[in-house]
Amino acid sequence: MSPTSRHHLLIAGCVVLFHLGALWALQTGLLQRAVAVIVPVQLLSEFIAPPRPNVASPPPPSPPMRKPVAPAVRHPTAALPPPPMPLAIADPTPAPQTPVGVVQPPVALAPMRTPVAATPGPPAPPPPQVELPSSDADYLQNPTPAYPAHSRRLGEQGKVIVRVLIGVDGVARKAEIRQSSGFERLDQSALATVQRWRYVPGKRAGVVEAMWFSIPVNFVLE
């Protein structure tokens, strides 16, 4: 068998097989399904149109630019010189109603007086000399204050200042504690002793007078 006859035989077999497959498809309903699927796809492809591209509208034309107008330049005018002022002419004749001045003689000033220094008065007299009373004279023979025995046993000691008013006769008129030693027994012993003493009275400008006098009394344990 030649090749040409083989080719024709193969084509005839394919046609027969195609027809047989079509008949089988019609019997089983496969061809109707293929047509139902393919036809809507074709119809949709015909009715759905592709979207149109957005074409931007051109912008409105801008108004034409106006050229700036240069301001007019004013040239300064030359200043005119002021008119000449009238000259004053001296007139020797006085005006009829001009007041005539009267020259008065200068007033004589009174001569300056130099202040007179005040003459110092007599000097003030010196203060009168005061002589305080005294209790240290030997002839007075004043005893020392007694140290209380109870204060010795307790170890009490200190300084007492007694203020005494001494009369013109040298006798203590009053006595009081000006500074305490801190112990009542020592203060009372000093006060009682000072009141029994005799004194040299005080003097003012050589005249005896009553005076207050402070007397210190020390209580010291040996």
Q: Is residue 139 part of a domain?
A: yes
Q: Which of 51-60, 64-73, 203-212 has the highest mean pLDDT?
A: 203-212
| 204 touches 159 (CB < 8 A) | no
**Helical H segments across the chain, by residue range:** 3-28, 30-47, 149-154, 184-196
Q: Is residue 17 part of a domain?
A: yes
More confident of the two residues 47 and 131: 131
More confident of the two residues 61 and 206: 206
CATH of the domain at 142: 3.30.2420.10
pLDDT in tens, 147-192: 999 999 999 999 999 999 999 999 999 999 999 999 999 999 999 9
For residue 131, the cross-strand partners are: 203
pLDDT class of 34 with cuts at 50, 70, 90:
very low
Residue 104, class by beta-carbon neighbours within 10 Å (0-12 exposed, 13-18 middle, 19+ buried)?
exposed
Domain count across the chain:
2
pLDDT class of 37 with cuts at 50, 70, 90:
very low
The pair of three-digit structure tokens given for residue 165, joined into one six-digit string: 């008013």
pTM: 0.44
Q: Is residue 74 part of a domain?
A: no
- At residue 61, φ and ψ (nearest 5 deg) are -65, 135
The pair of three-digit structure tokens given for residue 29, joined into one six-digit string: 């309903």
Q: Tell me: pLDDT of 47 over 50.
A: no
Q: Tell me how far apart the alpha carbons of residues 181 and 134 are, in angstroms, rounded to a whole number.
A: 23
35-60 burial, b at 16+ Cβ within 10 Å, e below that, comes to eeeeeeeeeeeeeeeeeeeeeeeeee
Show which of 27, 46, 65 is a domain's final residue: 46
Q: Tell me: pLDDT of 63 over 70.
A: no
Q: Is residue 93 part of a domain?
A: no
Q: Tell me how far apart the alpha carbons of residues 171 and 210 are, in angstroms, rounded to a whole number.
A: 10
List the domain range (segments joined by +) for residue 138. Answer: 130-219
Q: Is residue 104 part of a domain?
A: no
